[in-house]
Amino acid sequence: MEFPRIVVNAKVYTEATGPGARALLDACAAAGRTGLAPPLTELGNMARFGRSAPLFAQHVDALPAGVGTGFITAAMAKAAGASGTLLNHAEHKLKPVDLKASLAAAKAAGLWTLLCADSLAEARRLAKLAPTAIAVEPPELIGGKVSVTSADPAIVSDAVAAVRDLDSDILVLCGAGVKTGRDVRAARKLGAHGVLLASGVVKAKDPAAALRDLASGLL
């Protein structure tokens, strides 16, 4: 299975729960080359719908089976149907020691690891951990109307160059304000493998149409 070019972070939006969960997963599958990070409560349900689009756990903890109320282990996420995990998002930042431990647990469970970086400097630091991919997302642009590809294209191209210098196997995605196929095309021209986004799909009036537009930027 290929690492997705588009990863949709559904956060804890109500549109990604209940009946909306199946519709969102179907839209990701139809778009192709798209992965979905659903609310953790929906991960197992979505996997039972069919592995038509790769799923990412929004977080995993570095705990063995046993004591750990309120946490989710990497092994549990894998068993629930996840292909990967999203770690260190701006809304769920981890201390370096905790991030390193969660990353190791995810790798041991056979999960892709997508780490979020809020700056070029952080992207460089995270590359030393050898994740599957790094998503560069300036926090001030998250949820905004202007894509990082136009507001700060240099951070994308510089992150791609910096990460490749350290480890050419690590994929680089970009996010924050990404909403259209034009944004995806711009990201690709800047050297990114793809994009990470949330509200541009999940809160769209027609998520399937939004994803078709985004996927057109991959052509």
SS3 for 138? coil
Rg (CA), the chain: 16
Residues 209, 17: Cα–Cα separation, whole Å: 19
Q: Edge-to-edge strand order for the sheet containing 34-37?
A: 34-37, 6-9, 194-197, 171-175, 133-136, 112-117, 84-87, 56-57
- Angle CA(140)–CA(96)–CA(137) in degrees, nearest 5? 20
Q: What is the pLDDT of residue 109?
A: 98
Residues 4, 19: Cα–Cα separation, whole Å: 24
Considering only CA atoms, which of 190, 189, 191, 209 is closest in space to residue 200? 209
Q: Which residue has the higher pLDDT, 104 or 50?
A: 104
Q: Taking the mean position of all CA atoms in its chain, how far away is CA 212?
A: 18
Lowest mean pLDDT, pick from 5-19, 49-63, 109-123, 159-173? 49-63
Amino acid letter for position 90: A
Write down all domains in the chain, each with its CATH number in brackets: 6-216 (3.20.20.70)
For 126: left if phi > 0, alpha if psi spans -120 to 50, otherwise beta; the answer is alpha
112-117 and 133-136 strand pairing: parallel
Q: What is the pLDDT of residue 52?
A: 83
Q: Once rounded to an integer, what is the mean pLDDT over residues 9-21?
A: 94
Catalytic pick among 42, 59, 89, 193:
89
Q: What is the pLDDT of residue 51?
A: 61
Task: Name the strand (E) or helix (H) holding 36.
Answer: strand 34-37
**137 belongs to the catalytic site:** yes
Catalytic pick among 15, 42, 59, 137:
137
pLDDT in tens, 148-158: 988 889 999 99
Q: Once rounded to an integer, what is the mean pLDDT over residues 2-31?
A: 95
Q: What is the pLDDT of residue 217?
A: 97
Q: Once rounded to an integer, what is the mean pLDDT over residues 55-82?
A: 95
Strand (E) positions, 112-177? 112-117, 133-136, 171-175
pLDDT in tens, 18-63: 889 999 999 999 999 999 999 999 999 999 887 689 999 999 999 9
pTM for the predicted model, two decimal places: 0.96
Q: Which residues contact 80 (CB under 8 A, 6 or more apart)?
A: 43, 44, 47, 57
pLDDT in tens, 163-218: 999 999 999 999 888 999 999 999 999 999 999 999 999 999 999 999 999 999 99
Confidence of residue 1 (pLDDT cuts 50, 70, 90): confident
What is the overall mean pLDDT for the chain?
A: 95
Confidence of residue 83 (pLDDT cuts 50, 70, 90): very high
**89 belongs to the catalytic site:** yes
